[in-house]
Amino acid sequence: MADLHLVVDRSRGGLAGQIARELRESIRSGRLGRGERLPPSRDLARDLGLSRGVVVEAYEQLVAEGFLEARVGAGTRVAAGPVSRPEERAEEPGAGHYSRRPTTPDLTAFPRQAWLAAIRHVLATLPGDCLDYGDPGGVAELREELAGYLRRVRAADTDTGRVVVVTGVAQGLSLVVRALADSEAEAGSLVSKGEAGSLSEGEAGSLAKGRPAAPVAAEADGGGGGPVLLAVEEPTSPRQLPLLRRAGARLVGVPVDAEGIDVAALAGTGARAVLLTPAHHYPTGVVLSPRRRAELIAWAADTGAIILEDDYDAEFRFDREPIGCLQGLAPDRVVLAGSVSKSLAPGLRLGWLVAPPAVAAAVRRARGELDLGSPVIDQYALARFMRTGGYDRHLRRMRREYRRRRDALVRALAEHLPELRVHGISAGLHLYAELPGGWDARRVAEAARACGLAVDPLPSALVIGFARLSEHRIADAVQELRARTDGQNVWTYP
């Protein structure tokens, strides 16, 4: 039954006609959908402060015109037939932009029953006061579970006070950069100012191996004019660059090679903060080597810099021993960011930061000023899910499944597309495939998507996801892609 917002002007008279006209326009515009039930005439009359007879007259008029249907015992509803056709809505801006990412997990594997049990337990046991506005940094129960989990699984050096719950890594990074920008404006106590240009999205997608360590040119639109000079891996995901700039960062690219980020090149940028993905670099899949980890920690200690550690794909490792997070080596210089977007589902919008006390306090304060924190029922549910072992069981199951799918993709590529050189397969939900010289990455990516693969093109490579397809479907898709590349022009125009 729909609540209705109707505008009625008593001074004009003809009240039944006004109600009928308002309802007629609502149906024509699509605001009231086919088959939607209207309030009983008595309820609507009471809401409008009119006599019931006026509403009955309006309903009867629209029934006679075919806009409404009235049946005894079923109430009054919008007619199911095509009274009129609302204008077709244009596709929402950005529709489809977030779908079919190669880094998205298998959303059909979400543990619905276990999550439902956690939600039910929370609703059955949670005191009413816990549904009020709480700590914007997250409910204590979830922060406690996260601290214990990260100490146990990621070798983090943390306690509950260092953990801040956020809606995901994107928000967490944005809030940290804002905190650093505020510090720059006020006292410059967290990072020092440097001088460099900014990274354009096109440059972020280029491969930087062998390039000299130098800041890239500033954008013409001035989008990189923030107070925080933030170094980012190059290549990196272009999706996060606008977010970082809006938060107050000027970006400078630092090349990534077979050992991870080039720390010597980083030192030459003058940056006092760096964002990186040491567990599984996007897009190449490189893992930061022990030597580079030691160099990075030494650089941060010597310069007083902040390291933003995006714990990207750390949950899913296949062919290597677990690697502890950088935060465990330098808890006062590293901010660890993670979420359940890969392990459970991105739509949950639950993540966390583990930060030095001053940064954690600044982020908690910013959450209180911006959005008052995350939904508490979901936080308590995740805490329950982790406390009862459901989260660990789900990760173990999905790690086995994703390994089988990764193996299927690697085998299929080796059999049908041996020209591609595959890298970054030891962890994560995607692999990095270098294309032969002369192949056009965008054309190959279009062909791959037509075959059902989730692909992002880079200048001379593809990022191919394997999480959302079954093993046999992966093999079929790659075989079909072979046929398409043989039958279509995938070469770069001269």
CA distances from 152 to 156, 157, 468 (A): 8, 10, 29
Pairing mode, if any, of strands 249-257 and 228-234? Answer: parallel
Q: Is the distance from CB of 355 to CB of 159 less than 8 angstroms?
A: no
Model-wide pTM > 0.95 = no
pLDDT reported for residue 485: 86
Mean pLDDT (the chain, rounded): 86
Poorest-confidence range of 302-306, 477-481, 483-487? 483-487
Tokens linked to 47: 């809401």
pLDDT reported for residue 192: 40
Q: What is the distance between the alpha carbons of residues 75 and 255, in angstroms, rounded to a whole number?
A: 67
Pairing mode, if any, of strands 163-166 and 260-261? Answer: unpaired
Q: Average pLDDT, stretch 430-448?
A: 93
pLDDT reported for residue 5: 80
pLDDT reported for residue 92: 47
Q: Does the pLDDT value for residue 213 go beyond 50? A: no
pLDDT in tens, 354-375: 999 999 999 999 999 999 999 9
Closest CA to 231 of 189, 196, 201, 185: 196
pLDDT reported for residue 196: 36
pLDDT tier at 190 (50, 70, 90 boundaries)?
A: low
Poorest-confidence range of 70-79, 106-115, 343-352, 380-389? 70-79
pLDDT in tens, 87-107: 444 444 444 444 578 999 999
Q: Average pLDDT, stretch 59-71?
A: 88
Q: Is the distance from CB of 228 to CB of 196 less than 8 angstroms?
A: no
- Positions of E strands within 105-241: 163-166, 228-234
**Whole-number CA gyration radius for the chain:** 28
Q: What is the distance between the alpha carbons of residues 247 and 169, in angstroms, rounded to a whole number?
A: 14
pLDDT reported for residue 487: 65
Q: What is the distance between the alpha carbons of residues 183 and 190, in angstroms, rounded to a whole number?
A: 6
Return the SS3 of 455: strand
pLDDT reported for residue 45: 87
pLDDT reported for residue 188: 52
pLDDT in tens, 127-175: 999 999 989 999 999 999 999 999 999 999 999 999 999 999 999 999 9
pLDDT reported for residue 204: 36
Q: Is the distance from CB of 224 to CB of 250 less than 8 angstroms?
A: yes
CA distances from 457 to 205, 443, 448, 460 (A): 9, 9, 10, 8
pLDDT tier at 226 (50, 70, 90 boundaries)?
A: confident
Q: Does the pLDDT value for residue 70 go beyond 90? A: no
pLDDT in tens, 275-331: 999 999 999 999 999 999 999 999 999 999 999 999 988 888 887 777 899 999 999
SS (H, E, C) 102-155: CCCCCHHHCCHHHHHHHHHHHHHHCCHHHHCCCCCCCCHHHHHHHHHHHHHHHC
126 DSSP assignment = -
Give Cα 337 distance to the centre of its chain. Answer: 13
